[in-house]
A and B are shown apart, each in its own frame.
Chain A
Amino acid sequence: MFSIKKIYQPITLAEALEIYTSNPQLKIIAGGTDVLISLHHGKLDDVELLSIKNLTELTGINYLTDGTIEIGTMTTFTEIFRNEIINKYIPILAEASVSMGGPQIRNNATIGGNICNGAVSADSAPTLFVLNADLRIVNNEGVRIVPITEFYAGPGKVKLQSGEILTHIIIKKADYKGMYGKYIKFSNRKAMDIAMLSVATLGKVKNNKFTDLRIALGVSAPTPIRCTKAESFAFNKTIKEELIKQISEKTLLNANPRHSWRGSKVYREHLIQVLTERALKEIITMSGGKWHE
């Protein structure tokens, strides 16, 4: 059993915001796979929880008429990797979703919890970074939209105020149309292990040149990051083996991995380059480009 003093279980978003505003000390619980671990480890004591499990407004995936894809934050990773819209338009997110945890965890863990927990290893983060995902955050007074690339504040920290709930992840058509993506999670064990390093790449190739290329890394800095220097370097250059090497090297200009028991700094730097190369080759092939003569 855990050290929980009280739990609120509202059934509408309006009700949840009302309760949260009058009780700013509340801790939100979604699927609970991070929160209950903190409780289990005694990191949270006598906590009062606000469960957002029953908020149907926060579930499901919608394809809007202008091609925008809206993902409710209570959507689980199982729902995401099985979803038709996701598999058709942004298969890279399905790939990232099925890479996390094991079946039991994926049935329980939500994408909103994955983001708000702020872990550098969060499997959804690199992919959402390359998709330029926007986050819809609401409180009792209104709505604000924040690009996910500006949402992380440090290890385990995100820019959410008390009283605020993340309701949706928004992906615009321009950010996925004609783009091919690849997510690579590197971990010691295939299932039930968090990433030692992760790379997401998303790109568009025309006349064997990158007309758009985005690279994001997990566990390579205090927050997930975009490799902006490598990206701008790659723009409009003709794809060759040499170019792929150079792009992969340039990812290190934005990265600053740390040493941990899971992997040393040097090993992580090596992984960043090797995995980026691998991911780039996959998306080049998918886009009909080629890097060899």
Chain B
Amino acid sequence: MIKVTMTVNGKLYTREIPPMMRLLDFIRDELKLKGTKEGCGEGECGACTVIIDGDIYNSCMVLATSCEGKRITTIEGISGAELHPIQEAFLEVNAVQCGYCTPGMILSAKALLDKNINATEKEMKEAISGNLCRCTGYQKIIEAVKLAQKKLKKR
């Protein structure tokens, strides 16, 4: 067992974990945060996307032990009493069907807009190119990211 300390959604956690634990398992099984999804388990689909120190990663491709001292944001961490503007936008334009890809999509969009609020459509497409959606056809998702951009600019 290895001791690891990391901040998840603003809260500091210290746990003793086995070396084989993925960040995905740490989040879902240790912290019981079930918003982060496992799709493929091999880096292809982006359903397990989380933000680590400002950048997106597939949490199935990261060992939890390597996250010592890191700041992690999962889908549960982006909203308070109210939904985050990106979440609102996804609801308003119906960018969600089965919803399995949605947490990852929203986090990829958030990492982009946090860094570059003036992102172009091309940059938006690029930002979600590591997130697969088998329902929507992506059009609505891009519309949602654009609407979110408008909302965030107004804030």
Contact of A103 among B2, B42, B44, B130 (CB under 8 A): B130
Contact with B along A199-227 (1 / 0, CB 8 A): 00000000000000000000000000000
- Considering the complex of A and B, which 10 residue pairs feature the smallest CB-CB distances, nearest first? A102-B130, A191-B129, A4-B20, A7-B19, A2-B20, A104-B130, A104-B58, A4-B19, A102-B129, A107-B55
A1 touches B (CB below 8 Å): yes
Is A229 at the interface (CB under 8 A from chain B)?
A: no
A67 vs B71: C-alpha distance when bound (angstroms): 37
Q: Which chain A residue shows the least CB distance to B107?
A: A104
Q: Are A105 and B20 in contact (CB under 8 A)?
A: no
Give bound CA distance, A13 to B126, whole Å. 35
- Report 30 cross-chain contacts, Cβ distance below 8 Å, ordered by A residue: A1-B21, A1-B25, A2-B20, A4-B19, A4-B20, A7-B19, A7-B65, A9-B66, A32-B61, A33-B43, A33-B61, A36-B22, A37-B42, A37-B43, A39-B20, A40-B41, A49-B19, A51-B63, A51-B66, A78-B55, A102-B129, A103-B126, A104-B46, A104-B108, A104-B130, A108-B57, A108-B61, A191-B129, A192-B129, A192-B130
Q: 1/0 per residue A28-60: CB within 8 Å of B?
A: 010111001101110000000101010000000
Q: Are A101 and B42 in contact (CB under 8 A)?
A: no
Query: B126: which A residues are within 8 A, CB to CB?
Result: 103, 191
Question: Is the Cβ of A108 less than 8 Å from the Cβ of B62?
Answer: yes
CB of A82, distance to nearest CB on chain B (Å): 11
Number of A residues near B (Cβ < 8 Å) is 31
| Chief secondary structure at chain A's binding surface | mixed
**Given A5-B19, A7-B2, A33-B61, 11 other A-B residues pairs in contact with their CB atoms under 8 A:** A1-B21, A1-B25, A9-B65, A31-B61, A32-B63, A32-B66, A33-B43, A53-B66, A103-B56, A104-B46, A107-B57
Produce 1/0 per residue, B130-145, CB < 8 A to A.
1110000000000000
* Contact indicator B49/A104 (Cβ below 8 Å): yes
Contact B19 A103 (CB under 8 A): no
Q: How far is the CA of A78 from the CA of B55 in the complex (A)?
A: 10
Tell me, yes or no, whether B27 is within 8 Å of chain A by CB: no
User: Given A4-B19, A9-B65, A191-B129, are A104 and B43 also a contact pair (CB < 8 Å)?
Assistant: yes
Residues on the B chain within 8 Å of A101, using CB: 43, 130
Q: In the assembled complex, how far is the CB of residue B142 from the closest CB belonging to chain A, in whole angstroms?
A: 14
Question: In the bound complex, how far is the Cα of B19 from the Cα of A32, in angstroms?
Answer: 14
Task: Please indicate the chain B residues that have their CB under 8 angstroms from the CB of A36 in the complex.
Answer: 22, 42-43, 60-61, 63
- In angstroms, Cα B19 to Cα A8, docked, is 9
When the two chains form their complex, are residues A102 and B46 in contact, meaning their CB atoms are under 8 A apart? yes
